[in-house]
Amino acid sequence: MGGTFDPIHLGHLVTADQARVDVGLDEVVFVPAGAPWQKAHDVTSAEHRYLMTVLATAANPHFSVSRLEVDRQGDTYTVDTLRDLRDRLTDTELFFITGADAILNILTWKDAEEAMRLATFVAATRPGYDLSALRDHDLTERVMLLDVPALAISSSDVRARFAAGRPVRYLIPREVEEFARKHGLYGTTGRGLAAADVRG
Ligand SMILES: Nc1ncnc2c1ncn2[C@@H]1O[C@H](COP(=O)(O)OP(=O)(O)OP(=O)(O)O)[C@@H](O)[C@H]1O
Ligand SMILES: O=C(O)c1ccc[n+]([C@@H]2O[C@H](COP(=O)([O-])O)[C@@H](O)[C@H]2O)c1
């Protein structure tokens, strides 16, 4: 599963687990994008996003995290990652999990046609995005649709909540919240959890 994961939230984790079960995957590899060229906002350092993704997934034996894109220089293109995985994992069938918003933009990605030949793309439903638009681009035949319990959680809302001092508990894993506060991410002070959070 590819993503910016700035930060990783329960919408990502539920989507990954649903894909694992429904598609019958042995493993879901989370691939934090090193330099996501289509994100409009200033993205948190790749190392911090990578570590939060590790913290969020560590307890699940079916989940792992790849450094492939974090360690690659320049803008991040999924096609490069899929070429690399195809070369390394010759006997493995590859699926690329994305949410509805990402898949609706896939034709703007670098070498999108090749990317779709290298892996089967799995598009998860996401509140606020209508996957029927895939029909307009002749993509329904080439993309596997995945029904995910609707979670209207986004990283941008989580970042805004941190910055405004509003709760993020139950939207992101506790470990990710603690890491973000410890490192002063998203407008937090860098002094760890607030007293109210520690009591909770
Ligand atoms: N709540 C959700 N339900 C289903 N899919 C999701 C959800 N949140 C994110 N995704 C999918 O996960 C992938 C990675 O998402 P990303 O890291 O950009 O998070 P985001 O919440 O969309 O971030 P931002 O709000 O900063 O744009 C994308 O393919 C996205 O569509
Ligand atoms: O390859 C591309 O050109 C490309 C353009 C935009 C997004 N992607 C990938 O799509 C995934 C979801 O992207 P995002 O921006 O929603 O986090 C992530 O793995 C990105 O690297 C890939």
- Is 185 close to ligand 2, i.e. is its CB under 6 Å away? no
CATH fourth-level superfamily of 2-190: HUPs (3.40.50.620)
Closest ligand to residue 172's CA: 1
Indicate the average pLDDT of the chain: 93
User: What is the reported pLDDT for 193?
Assistant: 61
Lowest-pLDDT range of 168-172, 175-179, 187-191: 187-191
Q: Is the peptide bond before 32 cis (omega within 30 degrees of 0)?
A: no
pLDDT tens-digit series, residues 138-161 = 788 889 999 999 999 999 999 999
Q: Indicate the pairing of strand 120-124 with strand 95-99.
A: parallel
Domain ranges in the chain are: 2-190
User: What is the reported pLDDT for 138?
Assistant: 79
User: What is the reported pLDDT for 199?
Assistant: 42
Q: Whose CA is nearest to atom 11 of ligand 1?
A: 99
User: What is the reported pLDDT for 196?
Assistant: 47
pLDDT tens-digit series, residues 101-119 = 999 999 999 999 999 999 9
Q: How far is the CA of 166 from the centre of ligand 2 (A)?
A: 28
Q: How far is the CA of 164 from the centre of ligand 1 (A)?
A: 21
Q: What is the ipTM of this complex?
A: 0.98
User: What is the reported pLDDT for 195?
Assistant: 47
The predicted model scores a pTM of: 0.95
- Is 155 close to ligand 1, i.e. is its CB under 6 Å away? yes
DSSP string, 71-130: HS-SS--HHHHHHHHHHH-TT---EEEEEHHHHHTGGGSTTHHHHHHHSEEEEE--TT--
